[in-house]
Structure formats: C-alpha cells, structure tokens
Structure 1
Amino acid sequence: MPQKTSRRELLRRAGAAAVLGVVGSTQVGSAGGATEAAQVTKTAEATQTAGPNTVGIQTLTGGFEIPLDLAFVPGSRQAYVADQQGVVSVYEPGGLRDEPLLDLRDTVEYGGEKGLLGIAVHPNFAENRRLFVRYSAPLGANAPQEFSHTFVLSEFTVNADGRTANRNSERTVLDIPEPQPNHNAGDLAFGPDGYLYVTVGDGGNGGDLGPGHVDDWYGAVPGGNAQDVRRNLLGSILRIDVNGREGGKPYAIPDDNPLVGRPGFDEQYAWGFRNPWRLSFDRGRLFVADVGESEYEEVSLVESGGNYGWNVNEGTHCFAANSCPDRTPPSVRGGEPLVDPIIEYSHSGGPLTGNSVIGGYVYRGSAIPGLQGAYVFGDLDADGQLFVATEPQDGGRWPTRVVDVAGGGSGRLRRIFSFARDPTGELYVLGAGVDGGAVHRVVPASG
C-alpha cells in the first residue's frame, strides 16, 4: 500500500465504506459482542473444496465513482453500468461510451448508502425497451417529515439503438418513504417466472430501532420492521408483475405471492431481512446476501413466505439477547420458522472474515471449470480476495473458502460493490482499487 494516500482516494474509500454501513451500529443494551461470540455454536468455517486457489481479473472499463450494478442487454453486445452517483453508462465492445444512457444526478439523492442502487432490463427488452431503475430521491411532501428520503423504483424507455433512454419516459412503479439514510438495499432482478424481485432494507439505524420502526411480535428487541408485514414494506423481498396493473397501482400482484388473501402486504415475497444488498437467481433458486449488524454476515436461499430472522437473529445467532426463539409465536402467521442462512461468516477473524457481504452468482461459465456450480461472492473489504461456496450433499451449510485474485489484480480489487453474470455464465465483479471504480471479468489466473 502506498505510504501516502490522496484526499480523493480517502473520500472514495469513505464513500465505499458508507455504501453498506460496513462498521454496523452500536446497539445500546445489546447482549451481542463478546457475550455473543463466546456462545457461538454454529461458526462458519472456511473449508477447502475442489477448484482453483487463485483467479485473475480482466478490467473491462473504469472511471466510475462507485459502480453498483451491471446489466447485459438481451440480443446485443451492450451492457449497462450503474454508478451510485446517478449515471447509467453504456459499455460496448469498443469501450465505454462518453454519452450516458441515463443521467439522473439532478434527481438522485446521493451520499452514504443513498444513490442509484440497481438496474434491470426487462426480459423482453428487445421488443419493449423497458429499463427498471432503483434510486434514492428527496423525501416526498406526504411522507413523515422526520424521515430521510424516498425509495423509488421507476421505469424508463430506451431508444432503439440502446445508447440513450428517454428521460421524459419515466414512470414511477413504486415509492416507499425511508425513515433513515442507511440500509437501503436496492437490488432488483427478473426471476425465471418473469416477475420483478426487489430488495428492501429494514429502514436503517442500528438494530432495526428508532424513528420509523414499528413494534413487532418479538419483545426481547423493541421494534422491528423486518418482522412486521402489516405496516410497511421494509425488511423484505418484493415480487411484482410489471406487465400488468391492478387496484390503481402501476403493477399487478402475482396470485401466488404468500400474503395474498392474508394479513400483510401482497407485494411481499419473503421478510426478516436487515439490508439485503444483492440477489441473484440460478436454475430457479434465489440467493440473497444480507448485510449484518456488527457480528455476522449471511447469504440465504430464499423461498416464498420465508422469514429470515432479523432482528431476532443475526445469521444463526441470537441478536441482542442471550436466547431467542427459532420460530414466530403461533399467533404470528401460524408459527413460521426463522430460516437459517446457507452461508455465514464472522467479523472477528478466522480464515473467512469481513464486514459487509456482497452477494454473487453461481458460476455457469466455461473459462474456469473448477468453479462450475459454485457460488462466487465477496465482501466489501475484499483486499484482493473472493469467496467460493459449494453446495453440500447433506443440504446443510455451504462450505466456503477464500480464493485469491492473482498478481496485480489484487490491488485493483480492494473493495467489492457488486457482481454480475453474463448470458454465457461468466462472472464480473464491480469494485474499486488503486485505479478507482471499475468493472472486471473473472478469468483464470495466468501462469
């Protein structure tokens, strides 16, 4: 590491740290910390599995502040890169175009964990040119004035050449008042069923507490949007049909969403999340990476109607209590179980450690056969490393190991913000290092 660091680099690092709230929040009266660490019973261990110990990265394009999403355009050689400051750029085989696809900097509220957080192209993009964008906007006039800002999910129409979008075509699909500036999640993706899945954080602040957080069924930790499905959409994964409209809304609700006909918001697909930063699909399965508070990071296989535990649990461990239930009371949706993650790692050392999980993808490419079928992901504080998890035969926790980025690539990957997978199954990592924010392809290690 250089002995001197420029002010620009310090500011970039500060922004990168803020984007996920890497240090967590101090919980007053928490039974976490040393007490919680002492009673760990299911610590994740890095387990050696077949596959490479090192990989390389090939830088495709750079010059970004904090690149957070990469979407491949169906039927073309174009890809769209979303920068947190509010710009969507066009990458083509010749490089990054100077003219952006979409510049929302006059609309996006940018800073800390706020900004342009996710993009998704419609599965029938070649015919309908529909681009979906998730960003932070100023607080609306009808929102509680003590709140922070507005979660916005919008749709834009992209022109036929795929190089510019019609700014005046914006149609707001969904907006949610956000009580705090952090825990905004922000990813979105179309599932194999054609529906749009959207991650929503718990509303921010430490421990799912404070202004904007409601009372829930769990008394050991006061409040908790993530355990409530009746008063807001926070702390959940949403699933909506953007091809229809019903009930005065600019979208429809899939009939088989778990709360249809039951108490709760029909949009919700799963709940119990703190800051579900990135999601991905593989062969019908949904992987969600949920950023932890101050002790543990987790990745879950998410199913319809699942409750993933926050703020009763952080990972597989009781949060802010010496003991905790493994399911809701019978009066709360019949006593649903709190689902454990498939991957967990600690903030406090070990062969696998970090402070803010960045969800990845199952590798389905051909360039690195040893990664075939493995879930490749990372941590915000990457320090030139990726994580590789392999599904066990017994259906338990996924053994996970560290894979180093070889050679000079490690210096270009000090931070990881996001991952992407192209139609051939090859993986890409969006991060920052000595040369700033960039998009890289994961390739075999040379030599």
Structure 2
Amino acid sequence: MERLRRRRLLRAGGLAALASVAGCSAPSGSGGDGDAGDASESDDADATSTDGSDAGTRVPTPTETGGPRPDLDGADVALEPIASGFAAPVDFVAPTDTDRRFVVDRDGRIWEIGDDGRRETPFLDLSDRIVLGSERGLLGAAAHPEFASNGRLYVRYSASARAGTPDGYSHTAVLAEITVDPDARVAGDPQERTVLEVPQPQGNHNAGAVAFGPDGYLYVPFGDGGAANDVGRGHADDWYDAVDGGNGQDTETNLLGSVLRIDVDGRGGVPGSDAGADKPYAIPADNPLVGRSGLSEQYAWGFRNPWRLSFHGADCYVADVGQGAWEELNLLESGGNYGWNVREGAHCFRRDSCPTTAPDGEPFVDPVAEYPHDGGDVSGISIIGGHVATGDAVPALRGAYVFADFVARGRLFAVDPSADPPWGIRTVPVVGETDLAQYVLGFGRDSTGDLYVLTTSETGGGGTAGRVSRLVAP
C-alpha cells in the first residue's frame, strides 16, 4: 500500500448475556460473547509499546466547541426520566430541522418519544427482518440531513444470511435506506432500499452506529468480525505475524474492522471511474484508498468493535470496545490505522513489545483517551460512546464529551477537549432518586444539544426495563 497522508476529518477535503446487547466484552471467565476467558491471554496494564507511547501522547486538536468551557471538577448530574418500556434502547435519532426524537430498540422497533413519553405505537417496525441473539439486532439509525423533506432514514440491522454470505457465517449485516412520510406519526408503508450487505462470520463485534458527517457523507463502522483476538472463521491473514489474524489490519479482503465513508445520495462507486459501477452508493473521490490497493469504502481501519460514534462539528468521536485490558476513545482521521490487533488501546496486544507503525511506515493513531479494566474509579469493561454536550441542561458539561462504561456504577465519564492538557477522563457522579444503577447501552443528543442516556436494568437484553433519561443539573 502506498504511504498515506492521513488528514484530520475534512481538514483537506448474566452479565455476559447483557454485555452482548451493548456490543461489549464480558469480564474474564463470564462466558457469553466470545471475549470471555480471553482476558487472561491479553496483555496487562504494564505492557506498553516499546517506545513508551501512551494514550494522549500524540493528540489531534479538536474543533473549538464555543461557549463556556466545561468545569468538570465537581460536576455531577441528575437523570430526568423521559420514556420507558423499551427492550434494549441502543440509539437515539433527532433529525435536523425538527424537534422529533426517536429511540432505536434492538428488538427491531423505532419509537418516537414525545413530551408524555414513548408513543403507544412504534414509528417503524422492522422486527420481521432482523435476527436477535449475541450482539445481533437493530443496532443503529441516522436521519438524512434533509429528513424533514425527504423522509430518509438509514438503519443498521442483522439479517439472516443472504446471497453471498458464506456457509457457516452468523448473519448478514445490512445497511438499508428506509423512506417514510417525514410528517407521519407512524411510518405506514415504508420503502426499503438495501445500500450495503456485509457478511458477518460471528454474532458479535458488529458495531452498529451510523452517522452523517458535516460533509454529507454517511460514516458506517464495522467490528472485526467477532470471536476473540481477531482470528478464526472469516478473519483474514494480515501482515503482523506475532499475533494471528486479522481483519483490523487488512484493507483488501473485506470491510470488517473499519469505518466506512460513503455517499448515499450517489450511485456507481467512484465518480469518473469504472470501480464499483454497480454499487448502490457512491464512494467519495477523496477517500484514502481510492486509486490505491484496498477497498475504497474504507476511511479508517484497525478497529475491534467501534460500537458507537458521533460527530461534533468536523470531529468524529469513535469509542472502540477493547478485549480484556483497555477501552479507548478515538478521533477519526482519514487513512488512520488504529492498531487492532497489534495493539489494544495504546498498548501492545498479547506481547511485551510490538510495532508502532504499519508496514507503509505510518504510525498507529493513538487513542485520545483510554481507561483500564482494573484500577481506580475510571475503569470498566466496555466503553459506550456518547456526544459532546452543547445544550443548557447541565452548564458544567457544556463543551465536554460525555460517555460511559457499560457497567455504570452510578457514574458517567467526561473529557474536556479544550483543557490543558486535554483528554483527561473525569468521573461525573449521577445523583438523586434516579441514580445510574443501570447498564448503559447508548446516548443521544437532541436538537437543543441536551444529552440523553439509554439504559436497562435487566441482564438478558429483553423485557421492558429499557429507559431513556435526559441529563439535567441536580
């Protein structure tokens, strides 16, 4: 592969059963999603790259958030109940130029929430075309920037194996365009167009979020294909012989372990080229692999399970779930290689030393923040990505990126990109009668910039215990 000039985005153009609901790695020995039992084989917190690199050593400069800087010292929040009765709410959609709020439930339904909570009838019901179990289901959705006029939603779901999916694979991951009446309270007769199908060898590490960037393109993350260590059925052979695998370091065999960037308003692959002439989407001409070796849809790679991502201005925050030792938060870069499975976070994976660059000479992109599975209050088992708060509901958090671990333990996390130095993770206690003794599955941000947290208290990923709460000042 030619040496790539990486650019910041747009600057140049049981518990384990529940863990599977959130795209999470289970604790060591708990069984369940394929990660369990592998923590003992992972490097511990002391195994770092040979050059001593650590998270935050090489930090991109984020877009200025504007407004007062967040005062994270001593900040805490309360939760205002908004809606309940969900199975496993995993995503939140607030279409541009509307005041509407939709909640994506893993069981296949999308609900609208109003001032009086969840409406009685789902806005959109896709339950007849999805498969559940492990980390499968309806995993994410995004509204087209012009949803208010064109009614187009883009959804990620797990379907039964379709044509082209090899025998023995778990399922087919589908990205679909659903066109609805944007003014209707119930979608009625939605029209579906399949945009992308990706064979999935295992039932886990599916990622699932989708998001439109300010460039109008759709960003679609995919995990490494599942199981543990990025090896096994459906995992490519890569250049790194010290650890077998894998899809994270392969850009030519499949689309797994990557964040894709596609133009859903176009057709026919790369404009002005015969490459992908039959594709039901276009590929931006400035994607980093266009005209080079590799699959041109890929914008960045080296990910394990980027369960949630979100935009704030030109910055795209990608939360990548680790295996047994480290959880990481990244800023997306064009052509960036985020290191899996050479590294987990900024640390060598299963080895005492490891390369700090890919074969093309490009250095791996360090996470801007990371936290361990063991040690102190800033720890956990699976990072759940959130959003930058821009609303007035919690002034102390305005401008901060707010996220969580799957096992909440009564607190959220936040980082202040504008701090000096930036990116130190702070805990944000959740206080009051609705304290966060819950499992966190996702976050949302509405048209005013206020944040919502999506939770459940059940350990099976089903039932009706899922709820949505707004973050407010105590």
Structure 2 residue aligned with 1:409: 434
The answer to whether 1:423 aligns with 2:453 is no
Pairwise CA distance, 1:387: 0.3
Pairwise CA distance, 1:248: 1.2
Change (3 A) 1:316 1:181: same
- Please point out which of 286, 311, 314 is paired with 1:284: 314
Change (3 A) 1:38 1:340: closer
Pairwise CA distance, 1:100: 1.1
Pairwise CA distance, 1:29: 9.2
The secondary structure found in structure 1 opposite 2:127 is coil
Pairwise CA distance, 1:156: 0.9
CA distance in 2, matches of 1:190, 1:63: 28
Structure 1 residue aligned with 2:141: 119
**Residue deviations 1:348-367 (CA, integer Å, cap 9, x gap):** 12120000000111111122
- Please point out which of 456, 460, 471 is paired with 1:432: 456
Pairwise CA distance, 1:209: 0.6
**Residue deviations 1:180-231 (CA, integer Å, cap 9, x gap):** 1100000001100110011100000101010100111111111110100001
**Residue deviations 1:28-51 (CA, integer Å, cap 9, x gap):** 99462477389997489xxx9644
Pairing of 1:13-28 with structure 2 (within 5 A): 15-19=17-21, 20-23=23-26, 24-27=35-38
The secondary structure found in structure 1 opposite 2:331 is strand
Change (3 A) 1:260 1:408: same
Structure 2 residue aligned with 1:57: 79
Range that drifts further, 402-411 or 319-328: 402-411
The answer to whether 1:378 aligns with 2:434 is no
CA distance in 2, matches of 1:31, 1:187: 27
Q: Which has the higher strand share?
A: 1
Range that drifts further, 314-323 or 384-393: 384-393
The one-letter code of the counterpart of 1:131 is L
Contact 2:142 2:210 in 1 (8 A): yes
Pairwise CA distance, 1:165: 2.5
Can you give the 5+ residue segments of structure 2 that lack an aligned partner in the other structure? 1-13, 27-34, 57-69, 269-276, 459-463
CA distance in 2, matches of 1:168, 1:414: 34
Give the TM-score normalised by the residue count of structure 1.
Answer: 0.90
The secondary structure found in structure 2 opposite 1:221 is coil
Contact 2:106 2:139 in 1 (8 A): yes
Range that drifts further, 314-323 or 20-29: 20-29
Change (3 A) 1:16 1:151: same
Structure 2 residue aligned with 1:216: 238
- Please point out which of 250, 261, 277 is paired with 2:280: 250
The one-letter code of the counterpart of 2:412 is L
**Residue deviations 1:3-22 (CA, integer Å, cap 9, x gap):** xxxxxxx6xx6642222233
Pairing of 1:122-141 with structure 2 (within 5 A): 122-141=144-163
Pairwise CA distance, 1:75: 3.2
Contact 1:87 1:100 in 2 (8 A): yes
Pairwise CA distance, 1:319: 0.1
The one-letter code of the counterpart of 1:403 is V
Pairwise CA distance, 1:299: 0.3
The secondary structure found in structure 1 opposite 2:408 is coil
Structure 1 residue aligned with 2:47: 36
**Residue deviations 1:305-330 (CA, integer Å, cap 9, x gap):** 1001100100010001110011012x
CA distance in 2, matches of 1:216, 1:148: 22
CA distance in 1, matches of 2:408, 2:157: 25
The secondary structure found in structure 1 opposite 2:20 is helix
Pairwise CA distance, 1:162: 3.1
Contact 2:218 2:262 in 1 (8 A): yes
CA distance in 2, matches of 1:414, 1:359: 16
The one-letter code of the counterpart of 1:316 is A
The one-letter code of the counterpart of 1:374 is A
Contact 2:387 2:403 in 1 (8 A): yes
- Please point out which of 288, 293, 311 is paired with 2:341: 311
CA distance in 2, matches of 1:401, 1:35: 22
CA distance in 2, matches of 1:295, 1:144: 32
Give the TM-score normalised by the residue count of structure 2.
Answer: 0.85
The one-letter code of the counterpart of 1:431 is T
Structure 2 residue aligned with 1:87: 109
Change (3 A) 1:210 1:255: same
The answer to whether 1:442 aligns with 2:468 is no
The one-letter code of the counterpart of 2:465 is G
The secondary structure found in structure 2 opposite 1:53 is coil
Change (3 A) 1:408 1:270: same
**Residue deviations 1:71-97 (CA, integer Å, cap 9, x gap):** 013333321111001111111223322
Pairing of 1:16-415 with structure 2 (within 5 A): 16-19=18-21, 20-23=23-26, 24-27=35-38, 30=41, 32-33=43-44, 36=47, 42=54, 50-167=72-189, 169-246=191-268, 247-329=277-359, 334-391=360-417, 398-411=423-436, 413-415=437-439
Contact 2:45 2:372 in 1 (8 A): no
Pairwise CA distance, 1:111: 1.4
CA RMSD of aligned residues (A): 2.3
Change (3 A) 1:130 1:205: same
CA distance in 2, matches of 1:103, 1:239: 27
Contact 2:95 2:144 in 1 (8 A): no
Contact 1:378 1:416 in 2 (8 A): yes
The one-letter code of the counterpart of 1:189 is A
